[in-house]
C-alpha cells in the first residue's frame, strides 16, 4: 500500500511516507503528502511540519514501475511546490536514503535534519537515463552551490549525511531518533520566529560561476555510462539554474527531461535496473530456503583469480585463508593482495585502520588442512579437470561437514568435478570475472546435484561482497563465455574478410562497448584461448577461422602481457595497429580464396550482436539461463556491454524478432551454418511471442 500518513506530536505535524520497502513515490504517496500539507496548514494547533519516511528509507524516489504506464496526478513537481509553498515551516527528517525524487522532496522542505542512517543522499536519475525532473536540477544548485550540485547530478553518485552537512544540504546532524531531532529543530525554528525558507527563492549570480565550469563538464562526459544524452541534458538543466528565476529554470528542466524520458537509452537503463534485481530470484528457491552461514572463506590457488577473489572477500570484511601448492606463487599472490590493499589506503579509498583490518584477515598456507574451518572454499587452480578432481577429492576429506565447495572453473563440467566428492550437494560453480575484486559479475553454476541451500548460499554471498549473482546451468563456458565464443568467432571471420583489428574494435567501441573483442583477447591473453582450442578439437570450419590467430600465438605474441598480440603495446599499454598482422590475415584470406569485402562499421556491430544474441537464445531455450534478462545482466556486468544498450537480448527484442530472424537467415545463406538460427527465435516469431516471456516466470 502506497500512502503518506499524518500524525501529530503536540504542535508539530509528522507526515510519514509509507510504501515498503523503500518508499518509492507512487501516486498514493504523492497524494498523501499533498493532503498532509493541506491538513497541517489548515490546523491552527500546528506550528510546523516534519516529513519523514517509514522503515529504512526516506524515499528512493519516483516509482520506476510507474514510468511505463505514465504519471497519474498529482505530479511530483506539483506536490513538492505545494510543500515548499506551505505557510508553516517544513523540516525533512532524513531517516535513511533519499534518492532522486526522494531527495527532491527533501529539497522542497525548508530545512533538513539527518542522522547517520541517511548514508545515501543523491540524484541518481542519470543512471537510469533521465534527469531529476521534480525541480532537483534547480533547487540543489541554489542550496549547495553550482559546482557541488553539478557533480552530484552528472555523476548520479550520492553523498552521506556527514558530507551533506558539510556542503549545506543538511542543516543539522543528530544522533539517534531523527524524527525526535527534527521535531526539536522545528520547535527551535518556531521559537526563534523563523518561518519557511524556500530553496527555490535564491538567485544564482552568473558572476559567481567559474567561466569554464560547464564546458569542462561537457568535455568530461564523452563516454558517460548513461549514454549520449542523459548527462548532456543534466548539464544543460543545471546551467539553466544560473541567473534565471526558478520558474524559467524548471520549465527548461521539464523540456530537457521530456527529451530523455521514454527514449531507448532510458528504457534500456531502467530495464537493466530491474533485470539485475530479477536475477536474484531463483524460482524454486523461496524464502523457506536458508542460506548457510559463511563466516570464513578458503581459497585454493594464489594466481590471478585466487588473489582477486581473496581481495573481494577481504574487502567485504571476511577472513580469508589462501592455500597454494607452490611457495613462490603463494608469496607472489599474498604480495599482490597486500599491495592492492595498501594502495587503496594510499589513495584514501579506505582508512589506514580499515586497511589494517583487511590485512589482518588474510592467512596463507601450503597445507590444505588450513581450510578445515572454512565455511566456503573456492578452488581457483589451473583449468585442468584431472587436477580439479584430485583437489575436490582431497577437499572432501578435509572440509568440515556443510562447507560449500565451489569451483571457479570457466569451462569445465561442474557435475564431473562434484563427482569426485561424496557430497555433490555441497558443490557449486562460482565463476568470477577478472579482475575478480573489481568485476561485478558472478556466474553461479548450478550442478545436477547442487542443493538448494548451497545455491542460495552462493547467491547470498555474491550480494554480500557486492557482486551480481546470476544462475547458470552447466555447459561449456556457461552463459557468458559460451556466447563470447560465438562473438569472437565472428570477429575472426571478419578479420579474414578484410576488416582490421582496429576496424572491428573501433566499430564496437564507438557503439558503446567498453572494449572490442580483439583488444579483449589481447588483454585476457591469446594463449588462453589457444590452449582451449588445442584441448577441444575444433571443427575444420572453425579451425580455418582461427588459423591466423593460432599463428600469432605461436609467434610468441600472447597479447598485452608479451607487449604484442593483435596489436603492439608501448610502455603506456596503449594499443597500436600492426601492419604485419593485417598482412597475415590478408595472406590467409587469399589462400582460402576469400574476397576482400571489408565489412563496414554497421555490419561489424550487427554481426557481433546477432551472434551473441542468437547463442543467447539457444542457451535460454536449453534452460541454461533462466531468463533473457539474466543473460543481459551477465553481459552488462561481466563483459563491458553498456547499460544504455540494455544487453544483447534486449537489443534483438527492440529490433523486432521477425527482422532479426530475417537477418540471421541472410547471414546463414552467406556464411554457412555457424549462423544457424536459434529455434526459439523462430518459434517466437511464429507465435508473436517475446523473449522477455520465454524462460521462467518470477
Ligand atoms: N521505484 C520502484 N521500485 C524501486 C525503486 C524505485 N525508485 N527503488 C527500489 N525499488 C524496489 C526494487 O526494485 C526492489 O524491489 P524487489 O524487492 O521487488 O526486487 C526493492 O525496491 C528493494 O530494492 P533493492 O533490492 O535495490 O534494495 P537495496 O537496498 O539494495 O537498494 C536502493 C535500495 C539504493 C534504493 C536501490 O533500489 C536504488 O538504487 N533504487 C533506484 C533509485 C533511483 O534511481 N531513484 C530515482 C528514481 S527516478 C526519479 O526519482 C525521477 C524524479 O526525478 C522525478
Ligand atoms: P593462474 O595460473 O594464475 O593460477 C593458478 C594457481 O593455482 C597457480 O598459482 C598454481 O600454483 C595454483 N595451484 C596449482 N595446483 C594447485 C594445488 N594443487 N593447490 C593449490 N594451488 C594450486 O590461473 P588463473 O587465471 O587464476 O585461473 C584459475 C582458475 O580460474 C581456472 O580454472 C580458470 O579457468 C579460472 N578463471 C580464470 C579467469 C581469468 O581471466 N584468468 C576468469 C575466470 C575463471
Determine, yes or no, domain membership for 507: yes
**What is the Cα Rg of the chain in Å?**
28
Residues 63, 205 within the same domain:
yes
- The H or E element that residue 617 is part of is helix 601-621
Helix, coil or strand: residue 35: helix
User: Around 300, how many Cα atoms within 13 Å sit in the side-chain half-sphere?
Assistant: 30
Among the ranges given (140-144, 222-226, 538-542), the one the predictor scored with the smallest mean pLDDT? 538-542
- The H or E element that residue 236 is part of is helix 230-239
Helix, coil or strand: residue 219: helix
Q: Closest residue (by CA) to atom 34 of ligand 1? A: 60
Place of cell 588442512: 369
Residues listed for the chain: 698
pLDDT tens-place string over residues 575-620? 999 999 999 999 999 999 998 889 999 999 999 999 999 999 999 9
pLDDT tens-place string over residues 36-83? 999 999 999 999 999 999 999 999 999 988 887 777 899 999 999 999
Please give the distance, rounded to the nearest whole angstrom, from the Cα atom of residue 97 to the centre of ligand 1.
10
Query: How is residue 192 written as a grid cell?
Result: 526563534
Residues 308, 379 within the same domain:
yes
Q: Which of 84, 104, 582, 653 is catalytic?
A: 104
Determine, yes or no, domain membership for 280: no
Please, which pLDDT band fits residue 441 given cuts at 50, 70 and 90?
very high
Q: What is the residue-averaged pLDDT of the chain? A: 96
Please give the distance, rounded to the nearest whole angstrom, from the Cα atom of residue 22 to the centre of ligand 1.
7
pLDDT tens-place string over residues 657-679? 999 999 999 999 999 999 999 99
Residues 239, 122 within the same domain:
yes
User: Nearest 5°: CA angle at 239, between 236 and 242?
Assistant: 155
In sequence order, what are the beta bridge partners of 377? 298, 405
Give the per-residue pLDDT at 1. 86
Please give the distance, rounded to the nearest whole angstrom, from the Cα atom of residue 26 to the centre of ligand 1.
12
Among the ranges given (101-115, 141-155, 526-540, 546-560), the one the predictor scored with the smallest mean pLDDT? 526-540
* Residues contacting ligand 1 via CB (< 6 Å): 21-22, 24, 60-65, 76, 97, 99-101, 104, 124-125, 128, 132-134, 136, 277
* Residues contacting ligand 2 via CB (< 6 Å): 300-306, 323-326, 329, 380-383, 387, 391, 408-410, 431-434, 524
Kindly tell me the number of DSSP H helices and DSSP E strands found in the chain: 29, 19
Domain boundary among 566, 581, 601: 601
- The H or E element that residue 312 is part of is helix 304-315
Ligand nearest to the CA of 140: 1
Q: Choose which residue among 22, 53, 128 to substitute to test ligand 1 binding: the one with the highest number of ligand atoms within 8 A of its C-beta.
A: 22
Domain boundary among 554, 576, 601: 601
Are 518 and 505 in contact, with CB atoms under 8 Å apart?
A: yes
Ligand 2: atom nearest CA of 409 is 32
Pinpoint the alpha helices (H) of 408-500: 414-418, 452-464, 478-496
Place of cell 524464502: 287
Helix, coil or strand: residue 121: strand
pLDDT, mean of residues 675-690: 98
Please give the distance, rounded to the nearest whole angstrom, from the Cα atom of residue 64 to the centre of ligand 1.
8
Q: Closest residue (by CA) to atom 29 of ligand 2? A: 380
Residue 397 class from Cβ within 10 Å (0-12 exposed, 13-18 middle, 19+ buried)? exposed
CA dihedral 551, 491, 568, 556 (to 10 degrees): -20
Ligand nearest to the CA of 698: 1
Evaluate the CA torsion angle 25, 29, 34, 36 in order and state its sign. negative
Are 175 and 158 in contact, with CB atoms under 8 Å apart?
A: no
Please, which pLDDT band fits residue 697 given cuts at 50, 70 and 90?
low
Helix, coil or strand: residue 320: strand
Query: How is residue 394 written as a grid cell?
Result: 582431497
Q: Could you count the other beta carbons within 10 Å of the beta carbon of residue 667?
A: 20
- DSSP letter (8 states) at residue 463: H
Helix, coil or strand: residue 99: strand
Ligand 1: atom nearest CA of 274 is 13
Please give the distance, rounded to the nearest whole angstrom, from the Cα atom of residue 559 to the centre of ligand 2.
19
Ligand 1: atom nearest CA of 104 is 53
Determine, yes or no, domain membership for 289: no
pLDDT, mean of residues 142-158: 98
Are 472 and 446 in contact, with CB atoms under 8 Å apart?
A: yes
Q: Closest residue (by CA) to atom 19 of ligand 1? A: 277
pLDDT tens-place string over residues 549-563? 999 999 999 999 999
Ligand nearest to the CA of 102: 1
Determine, yes or no, domain membership for 500: yes
Evaluate the CA torsion angle 56, 59, 60, 66 in order and state its sign. positive
Determine, yes or no, domain membership for 288: no
Ligand nearest to the CA of 398: 2
pLDDT tens-place string over residues 329-338? 999 999 999 9
Please, which pLDDT band fits residue 262 given cuts at 50, 70 and 90?
confident
Please give the distance, rounded to the nearest whole angstrom, from the Cα atom of residue 281 to the centre of ligand 2.
30
- The domain that contains 510 carries what CATH number? 1.10.1040.50
Residues 239, 166 within the same domain:
yes
Residues 166, 201 within the same domain:
yes
Please give the distance, rounded to the nearest whole angstrom, from the Cα atom of residue 384 to the centre of ligand 2.
9
Residues 588, 627 within the same domain:
no
Query: How is residue 317 written as a grid cell?
Result: 570484511
Instruction: Indicate if 125 belongs to the active site.
Output: yes
Ligand 2: atom nearest CA of 381 is 7
Residues 572, 596 within the same domain:
yes
Please give the distance, rounded to the nearest whole angstrom, from the Cα atom of residue 385 to the centre of ligand 2.
12
Q: Choose which residue among 60, 121, 277 to substitute to test ligand 1 binding: the one with the highest number of ligand atoms within 8 A of its C-beta.
A: 60
Determine, yes or no, domain membership for 516: yes
Residues 584, 608 within the same domain:
no
pLDDT, mean of residues 251-261: 97
Determine, yes or no, domain membership for 586: yes
Using CA atoms, how far residue 365 sits from 61, 309, 657, in Å, is 49, 16, 54
Q: Choose which residue among 305, 311, 515, 560 to substitute to test ligand 2 binding: the one with the highest number of ligand atoms within 8 A of its C-beta.
A: 305
In 247-361, which ranges are E strands?
Answer: 297-300, 320-323
Please, which pLDDT band fits residue 696 given cuts at 50, 70 and 90?
confident
Q: Measured between alpha carbons, how far is 686 from 577 in angstroms, rounded to an integer?
A: 45
Determine, yes or no, domain membership for 281: no
Domain boundary among 601, 630, 656: 601
Q: Which residues contact 570 (CB under 8 A, 6 or more apart)?
A: 576
Please give the distance, rounded to the nearest whole angstrom, from the Cα atom of residue 221 to the centre of ligand 2.
37
- The domain that contains 32 carries what CATH number? 3.90.226.10
Are 247 and 198 in contact, with CB atoms under 8 Å apart?
A: no
Domain boundaries, position 429: 297-472
pLDDT, mean of residues 514-539: 91
Q: In the chain, what percentage of residues exceed pLDDT 70?
A: 100
pLDDT of residue 698 exceeding 60, the answer is no
Are 98 and 58 in contact, with CB atoms under 8 Å apart?
A: yes
Which residue, 181, 179, 183, 178, is CA-closest to 12?
A: 183
pLDDT tens-place string over residues 386-409? 999 999 999 999 999 999 999 999
Residues 331, 195 within the same domain:
no
Q: Choose which residue among 64, 97, 103, 258 to substitute to test ligand 1 binding: the one with the highest number of ligand atoms within 8 A of its C-beta.
A: 64
Q: Which of 84, 125, 276, 615 is catalytic?
A: 125
Q: Closest residue (by CA) to atom 12 of ligand 2? A: 301
Are 125 and 156 in contact, with CB atoms under 8 Å apart?
A: yes
- Which strands make up the sheet holding 320-323, listed edge to edge? 362-365, 320-323, 297-300, 376-379, 404-407, 427-432, 441-445, 468-472
Domains identified in the chain, total number? 4
Instruction: Indicate if 489 belongs to the active site.
Output: no
Q: Measured between alpha carbons, how far is 565 from 150 in angstroms, rounded to an integer?
A: 42
Place of cell 593485417: 582
- The domain that contains 379 carries what CATH number? 3.40.50.720
Evaluate the CA torsion angle 281, 283, 285, 286 in order and state its sign. positive
Ligand nearest to the CA of 481: 2
Pinpoint the alpha helices (H) of 172-212: 178-191
Residues 559, 570 within the same domain:
yes
Residues 515, 664 within the same domain:
no
Residues 447, 310 within the same domain:
yes
- In DSSP notation, 557-576 reads --BGGGTBSSSEE-TT--EE
pLDDT tens-place string over residues 346-361? 999 999 999 999 999 9
In sequence order, what are the beta bridge partners of 98? 59, 121
Amino acid at each position: 500500500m502506497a500512502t503518506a500518513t499524518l500524525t501529530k506530536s503536540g504542535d508539530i505535524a509528522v507526515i510519514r511516507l509509507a510504501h515498503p520497502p523503500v518508499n518509492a513515490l507512487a501516486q498514493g504517496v504523492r497524494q498523501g503528502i499533498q493532503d498532509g500539507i493541506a491538513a497541517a496548514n489548515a490546523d491552527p494547533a500546528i506550528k510546523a511540519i516534519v516529513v519523514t519516511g517509514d522503515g529504512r528509507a526516506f524515499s528512493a524516489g519516483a516509482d520506476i514501475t510507474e514510468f511505463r504506464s505514465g504519471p497519474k496526478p498529482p505530479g511530483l513537481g506539483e506536490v513538492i511546490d505545494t510543500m515548499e509553498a506551505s505557510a508553516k515551516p517544513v523540516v525533512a527528517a532524513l531517516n535513511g536514503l533519499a534518492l532522486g525524487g526522494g531527495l527532491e522532496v527533501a529539497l522542497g522542505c525548508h530545512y533538513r535534519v539527518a542522522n547517520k542512517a541517511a548514508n545515501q543522499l543523491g540524484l541518481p536519475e542519470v543512471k537510469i537515463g533521465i534527469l531529476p525532473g521534480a525541480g532537483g536540477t534547480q533547487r540543489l544548485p541554489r542550496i549547495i552551490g553550482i559546482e557541488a550540485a553539478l557533480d552530484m547530478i552528472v555523476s548520479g553518485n550520492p553523498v552521506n549525511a556527514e558530507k551533506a552537512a558539510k556542503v549545506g544540504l543538511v542543516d543539522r546532524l543528530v544522533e539517534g531518533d531523527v524524527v525526535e531531532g527534527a521535531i526539536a529543530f522545528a520547535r527551535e525554528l518556531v521559537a526563534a520566529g523563523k518561518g519557511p525558507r524556500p530553496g527555490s527563492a535564491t538567485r544564482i549570480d552568473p558572476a559567481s560561476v567559474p567561466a569554464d565550469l560547464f564546458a569542462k563538464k561537457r568535455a568530461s562526459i564523452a563516454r558517460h555510462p548513461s549514454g549520449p544524452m542523459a548527462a548532456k541534458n543534466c548539464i544543460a538543466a543545471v546551467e539553466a539554474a544560473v541567473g534565471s528565476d526558478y520558474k524559467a529554470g524548471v520549465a527548461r528542466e521539464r523540456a530537457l527531461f521530456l527529451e530523455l524520458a521514454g527514449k531507448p537509452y532510458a528504457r534500456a537503463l531502467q530495464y537493466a535496473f530491474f533485470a539485475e534485481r530479477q536475477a536474484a530470484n531463483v524460482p524454486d528457491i523461496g524464502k523457506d530456503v536458508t542460506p548457510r552461514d559463511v563466516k570464513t572463506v578458503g581459497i585454493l590457488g594464489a594466481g590471478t583469480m585466487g588473489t582477486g577473489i581473496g581481495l573481494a572477500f577481504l574487502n567485504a570484511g571476511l577472513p580469508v585463508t589462501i592455500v597454494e601448492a607452490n611457495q613462490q606463487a603463494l608469496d607472489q599472490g599474498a604480495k599482490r593482495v597486500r599491495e592492492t590493499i595498501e594502495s587503496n589506503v594510499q589513495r584514501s579509498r579506505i582508512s589506514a585502520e580499515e586497511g589494517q583490518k583487511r590485512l589482518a584477515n588474510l592467512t596463507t598456507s601450503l597445507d590444505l588442512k588450513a581450510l578445515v574451518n572454512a565455511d566456503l572454499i573456492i578452488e581457483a587452480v589451473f583449468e585442468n579437470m584431472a587436477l580439479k578432481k584430485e583437489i575436490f577429492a582431497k577437499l572432501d576429506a578435509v572440509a568440515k561437514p556443510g562447507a560449500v565447495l565451489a569451483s571457479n572453473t570457466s569451462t569445465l563440467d561442474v557435475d564431473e568435478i562434484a563427482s569426485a566428492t561424496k557430497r555433490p550437494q555441497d558443490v557449486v560453480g562460482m565463476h568470477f570475472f577478472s579482475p575478480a575484486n573489481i568485476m561485478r559479475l558472478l556466474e553461479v553454476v548450478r550442478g545436477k546435484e547442487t542443493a538448494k541451500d548451497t545455491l542460495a548460499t552462493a547467491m547470498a554471498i555474491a550480494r554480500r561482497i557486492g557482486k551480481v549473482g546470476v544462475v547458470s546451468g552447466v555447459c561449456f563456458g556457461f552463459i557468458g563465455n559460451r556466447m563470447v565464443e560465438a562473438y569472437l568467432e565472428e570477429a575472426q571471420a571478419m578479420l579474414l574478410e578484410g576488416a582490421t583489428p582496429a576496424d572491428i574494435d573501433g566499430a564496437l567501441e564507438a557503439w558503446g562497448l567498453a572494449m572490442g573483442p580483439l583488444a579483449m583477447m589481447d588483454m585476457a591473453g591469446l594463449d588462453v584461448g589457444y590452449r582451449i582450442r588445442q584441448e577441444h578439437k575444433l571443427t575444420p570450419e572453425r579451425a580455418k577461422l582461427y588459423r591466423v590467430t593460432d599463428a600469432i600465438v605461436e609467434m610468441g605474441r600472447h597479447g598485452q602481457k608479451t607487449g604484442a598480440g593483435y596489436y603492439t603495446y608501448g610502455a603506456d599499454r596503449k594499443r597500436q595497429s600492426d601492419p604485419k598482422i593485417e598482412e597475415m590475415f590478408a595472406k590467409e584470406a587469399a589462400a582460402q580464396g576469400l574476397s576482400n569485402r571489408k565489412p563496414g562499421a554497421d555490419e561489424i556491430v550487427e554481426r557481433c550482436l546477432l551472434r551473441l544474441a542468437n547463442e543467447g537464445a539457444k542457451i535460454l531455450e536449453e534452460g541454461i539461463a533462466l531468463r533473457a534478462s539474466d543473460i543481459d545482466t551477465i553481459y552488462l556486468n561481466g563483459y563491458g556491454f553498456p547499460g544504455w544498450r540494455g544487453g544483447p537480448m534486449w537489443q534483438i527484442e527492440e529490433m523486432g524478432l521477425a527482422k532479426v530472424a530475417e537477418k540471421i537467415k541472410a547471414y546463414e545463406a552467406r556464411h554457412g551454418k555457424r549462423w544457424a538460427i536459434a529455434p526459439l527465435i523462430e518459434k517466437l516469431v511464429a507465435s508473436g511471442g517475446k523473449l522477455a516471456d520465454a524462460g521462467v516466470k518470477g
